[in-house]
Amino acid sequence: MSSPKMSLFSPEKFLADVKHVCQMFGASYSEEITKRMIEVYAASFHRGAIQWRVTDRPGDAVNYRFFERERINIIQPAIDANILDAHNTMIPLFQAWSSLFGEAPIQLCDFDAEKGLVKAWLYLSGYRQLDDILDAPGIPDTISRHREAFHSLNLKIVRYVAVDFYAHTINLYFRAAGPLSYEAATKYVALADSPPPLQKDYNDMIKFLNPEGFAFSVTIHAGTGLIGRVAIYAIKLPTGESPVIAQRLTQLFEEVPSYDEEEFNGVAWSYGKSGKSYMKAERSYCGELVRLLRSWNSDLSS
């Protein structure tokens, strides 16, 4: 039996597509930086699955990321190529989490179309206990102090963690139990000192979230411990369907190229202090993202 076909990465096509997408969204773009990212992580771009990300806020960056299929070290190549300062304070946190579970986590990279490498992720290779993440060597009290708050909301299982090298924040990506009640949604967003979701947004959430479980993320500043944002994710919307979204996000789904056999479109509702909310959307580019996420047992919405 032959192996399933996989959409292949082309550096030339990708550079043209990134430039076009940035022009479409009025986002800043550096061809020099983008070429450099492709050179430094050439094997990962060719081997992995690539994804787009935009928000509904005019002027925000266009982001792209690769999901790896193998365990690699993404930090040392970045330092060697002078695209990441070896003294960046987020590196020890990332390395501490990378070393957990017999070094099972898989490292992923997140890029800004103008700045280059901005964020590093870890797929933890399964369902992991929150306490194991917070008790990793060197994790500061600014992060672990939220343990009881998370436990009280039954947020005990973590699938991904991430560090932002620019914002000096970390992300915990929980598997939250479904179906989502309005009471639970209200308590989740209150972690970021946000008022409850609008009823129309909640209605979309219960329509598109996986009722068995879904992704919920928390953004914490590593220095201060402030929870700046939380987000609720609908990962892989049903084909041809989406919540009520802004024109920018509709453009992503309808006009931005995806070469995968099965397309991935996803959304997240993001909440911050004093009702500063927005939506973000993600779309597959190449490398058969859906196939990869299914192999990771992700909580897809379709």
**174 phi, psi to nearest 5 deg:** -85, 155
Instruction: Tell whether the model's pLDDT for residue 51 goes beyond 60.
Output: yes
Position 275 scores a pLDDT of: 83
- For residue 27, the Cα-to-chain-centroid distance in whole angstroms is 19
Mean predicted lDDT score pLDDT of the chain: 96
Tens digit of each residue's pLDDT (9 = 90 or more) over 13-31:
999 999 999 999 999 999 9
Does the structure show a pLDDT above 90 at 249? yes
Residues 6+ apart with CB under 8 A from 263: 239, 283, 284, 290
- Is residue 128 within 8 Å of 158, Cβ to Cβ? yes
Q: Rounded mean pLDDT of 125-152?
A: 97
User: What is d(CA 171, CA 270) in angstroms, rounded to the nearest whole number?
Assistant: 13
Mean pLDDT, residues 256-262 taken together:
97
Above pLDDT 70, what percent of the chain? 99
- Overall average pLDDT of the 142-168 stretch: 98
Instruction: Give the per-residue pLDDT at 302.
Output: 86
pLDDT of residue 158: 98
> Residue 5: its pLDDT value, please?
73
pLDDT at position 1 is 43
Q: Percent of the chain scored above 90 by pLDDT?
A: 96
Please tell me the pTM assigned to this model. Answer: 0.96
Q: Give the residue-averaged pLDDT of 165-179.
A: 98
Alpha-carbon distance of 69 to 47, in angstroms, equals 7
Q: Which two tokens stand for residue 165?
A: 């090298």
Residue-wise pLDDT for 175-232, tens only, equals 999 999 999 999 999 999 999 999 999 999 999 999 999 999 999 999 999 999 999 9
Tens digits of residue pLDDT in 286-302: 999 999 999 999 999 98
pLDDT confidence bin for 6, thresholds 50/70/90: confident
pLDDT of residue 2 exceeding 70, the answer is: no
pLDDT at 4 over 70: no
